[in-house]
Amino acid sequence: MSYAQKLDDVALLLDELEGLEPAVGSGAALEIALSQIEEDPGQPRRNFDKAALEELAASIRERGLLQPIGVTKKQESGKHRIVFGARRFRAASLAGLRTIKAMIQAGQPDDPYDQMVENIQRDDLSATEIAAFIEARLRAGEKQKDIARRLAKSKGFVAMHASIGQMPQVLRDKLSASPLRAVYELYQLWKRDAARVEEFCTQHESFTRPQAEAFIEAASAKPNQNDDAEPAEHIFRGEPPLPQPTKDETKHGAAGLPEGEFVPAAQRKSASEVIMRVHHEQRGGRLILGRVSKRGSHFGIVVFDDHGDEAQVLLAELALVEIRMREPL
């Protein structure tokens, strides 16, 4: 084969390789033109702080982009779609870059959880943005437990965010400056006492979780208990209440007691007790069934095994691990 023929073969090979996609998942960052990249219209992040973008753009001008973004292979539009790094992409555009370091991601490019998990790990999303994603997955027919598993979060995390859409505006307005858990606990009280919670929100631009808990405990306190109310232990054990003593209608009844005295009720045998074992934040304990939490019906009282301390915990955050019976002595 002549030298000229070898050159022709090399040129033909280069023509065939031109335009081919680089190896997916090779680990090497590529320089891709910004004009060849598009943002994902379904990305969970909706709000980008303008000042923060300008600061990042200034840093990119000074030091360059330190971490590549992630993109898919070219879509039908002929462009790569961002999997993660939309904020860096926008800042690079502000910085005047024409290309950006990017890594082509393997796997399913349309998996809605890719960007969500990446943003949650970076703590880049607001509570309302996470809530919008979870609501979309619920509308798609997914279960809360499956969403929690795919996000690598607790069921309580998903339940709290899923409730944001049902919260009144006065509580949703507090999410930008107050912890979600505190707002969620106030929402449980709002269902029973809306006026009081709304007054609290009017008086506080923002609040911490201890502040919210103190208010909830004070608002839920019931100094005048109804003596005729059925004891909580009977409600949980499914047993009828003990018979109440009755007054003797005659001066000397069959019991031989003077008028106005009470006839003692017959002694009953102790019933078997239900034991409910639970886990909360890697701690084991027992859910107390005979007492009602002062913080509302969405809370339970747990006695933890390690130190024997009691805590009032959101039921949505508890994992039930065992139900058994303890027989009476």
Mean of the pLDDT values across residues 286-294? 81
pLDDT tens figures, 191-205:
999 999 999 999 999
CA–CA distances in Å: residue 149 to residues 77, 123, 159, 162: 33, 18, 13, 15
With 0-12 / 13-18 / 19 or more C-beta atoms within 10 angstroms meaning exposed / middle / buried, residue 18 is exposed
For residue 310, the one-letter residue type is: E
Q: Does residue 10 surpass a pLDDT of 50?
A: no
User: What's the confidence (pLDDT) of residue 184?
Assistant: 94
For residue 298, is pLDDT > 60? yes
Burial 146-157 (b: 16+ CB within 10 A, else e): ebbeebebebbb
Tell me the CATH architecture of domain 231-239+272-329: Roll (2.30)
Tell me: pLDDT of 53 over 90.
no
Fold of 23-110: 3.90.1530
Q: Which helix (H) or strand (E) holds 321?
A: strand 319-326
Q: In what order do the strands lie in the sheet with 319-326?
A: 310-314, 299-304, 283-288, 273-280, 319-326
Mean of all residue pLDDT scores within the chain: 76
Amino acid 264: pLDDT:
52
pLDDT at site 16: 38
- Residue extents of the structural domains in the chain: 23-110, 115-220, 231-239+272-329
Q: Tell me which residue has tokens 């437990």.
A: 145
pLDDT, residue 305, reads 83
For domain 115-220, give the CATH number.
Answer: 1.10.10.2830
Q: Which pLDDT does position 319 carry in this prediction?
A: 81
pLDDT score at 194: 94
pTM over 0.75? The answer is no
Cα angle: 115, vertex 116, 117; to 5 degrees: 95
